[in-house]
Amino acid sequence: MTPRCLTALALILTATATTATAQEYLSYGPRPAYLVGQMTDGPLKDQLTQCLGQTPSRSDFSIGHRGAPLMLPEHTVESNVAAAQMGAGILECDVTFTADLELVCRHAQNDLHTTTNIVATDLGEKCTVPFTAASGDTPASAECRTSDLTLEEFRSLSAKMDASDNTATTTEGYLGGTASFRTDLYTHSATSMTHAESIELFRGLGAKFTPELKSPSVEMPFNGFTQADYAQKMIDEYKAAGIPASDVWAQSFDLQDVLYWIENEPEFGAQAVYLDDRYELEEGDGGLLDPMDAATFQPSMQELADMGVQYIAPPLWLLVTLDADGEMVPSVYADEATAAGLNIITWTLERSGPLNTGGGWYFQSVAEATDNDGVTYELLDVLAQDVGVVGVFSDWPATTTFYANCMGL
């Protein structure tokens, strides 16, 4: 067993051993209070202020998005331990596979060049596209896939914050580029995981599971490994670990994966989550940007429900819009999903950095009302109370846990 494998195992065993007392270690840290302090005065701010002294408790409403990657390298043991300590009741492993068909936690099959140190190691030569230095107007580039490596080779890599510097002329320089609102303080010795190891870790932390089957970057079948094999292998690892289907929300952007689980693994399919990436905007009444009429989506919300889909997960902005008074309200999309009886989960809070200039991609439908960090809780309140979402992914789960605890979610 390699040293990195032993490290991962030791950390997982430690987390398992402390499960019984995990509740004692929950902490919001300073960020929720900071965000409340930034809010515009009003009833919501008053209510949240009264909760600042509450004792944290775990909530399934709070979902760790790749762990807690606002500050710690995503999909590592350390990132998920931090998320659990912030009260995230559900933790995520994005699932992809190696050259020897082992399942590992990685946001994309082809992200090793930005999430690990691979380009600065001898394994960089095995990348689908090895590192090329920036030259003139041509940026630095690389593409390194988990499917380029065996599991043993994958384990030898060091995880880092998801970033790269496309102006770099050296491999060491390319490893930089971390966003200014994030940090590299916790990157050293961060421990990557296999999917099976994530199951043991999350169980040891007292959390539930939301694995996402990532779209392959390679053509399928891959060495005889079909898409159905891939979807089944992910579920089989929960069954092998004795995890009840009621504790697992399997996700995919590919509707066919969701339908596969509904048909072939109905207990797991009952909570399978269709990650909706049908993003479009059109001009709504009064010239405000409004999410496209969900009834025109194919398949429609009702058609999804008729197929057996019970959970849908669009991005934050697709669920909200601004009314004529500039107030956040549920979008047509949200209303259509609710009318079809779909449970709604959304993503991703705390991924935008400072919100003083509109919030970027995740806040695009409410950008005109987004001018300070306190808007985080204004948006979350509309999502929870008016849209009725059942869970929110966050890059810093303390923010969502605090709100859920305060509101009794």
Average pLDDT of the chain, as a whole number = 93
User: Residue 3: which pLDDT band, with cuts at 50, 70 and 90?
Assistant: low
Do the bridges between strand 94-97 and strand 103-105 make them parallel or antiparallel, or are there none, so unpaired? antiparallel
Domain regions of the chain by residue span: 3-98+192-407, 110-174
* Residue 115: per-residue pLDDT: 98
Entry field: residues in the chain:
409
Question: What confidence tier does 9 reach under pLDDT thresholds 50, 70, 90?
Answer: low
| Model confidence pLDDT, tens digit, residues 213-253 | 999 999 999 999 999 999 999 999 999 999 999 999 999 99
Q: Could you identify the residue written with the tokens 């069954």?
A: 239
Name residue, tokens 């309200």. 329
Q: What mean pLDDT is predicted for residues 56-63?
A: 98
Token pair, residue 72, equals: 């710690």
Cα(270)–Cα(280) distance, integer angstroms: 28
Place of tokens 């399997």: 250
Q: Are 250 and 261 in contact (CB under 8 A)?
A: yes
C-alpha closest to that of 106 among 56, 67, 136: 67
Q: Which two tokens stand for residue 129?
A: 């596209």
CA 287 to chain centre: 32
Question: Taking the alpha carbons of 261, 351, 69, 24 in that order, is the dihedral positive or negative?
Answer: negative
In angstroms, the CA 381 to CA 125 distance is 48
| pLDDT higher than 50, residue 136 | yes
**pLDDT, position 20:** 45
DSSP 110-157: T-HHHHBSGGGSGGGGGSSEEEE--BTTBPPEEE--GGGS-HHHHHTS
Please tell me whether residue 388 adopts helix, strand or coil conformation.
coil
pLDDT category of residue 291 using cuts at 50, 70 and 90? low
Question: pTM here?
Answer: 0.94
Residues 74-100: tens digit of each pLDDT: 999 999 999 999 999 999 999 999 999
Work out the end-to-end distance of the chain between its first and last CA atoms, rounded to an integer number of angstroms: 43
Query: Residues 102, 94: contact at Cβ < 8 Å?
Result: no
| Bridge pairing between strands 281-283 and 289-291 | antiparallel
Question: What's the confidence (pLDDT) of residue 279?
Answer: 79
Helix, strand, or coil (residue 24): helix
Predicted pLDDT at 285: 39
Provide the total of helices (H) and of strands (E) in the chain, helices listed first: 15, 17
**Quick one: pLDDT band at residue 189, thresholds 50, 70, 90?**
confident
Superfamily name with CATH number, domain 3-98+192-407: Phosphatidylinositol (PI) phosphodiesterase (3.20.20.190)
Neighbours of 42 (CB within 10 A): 9
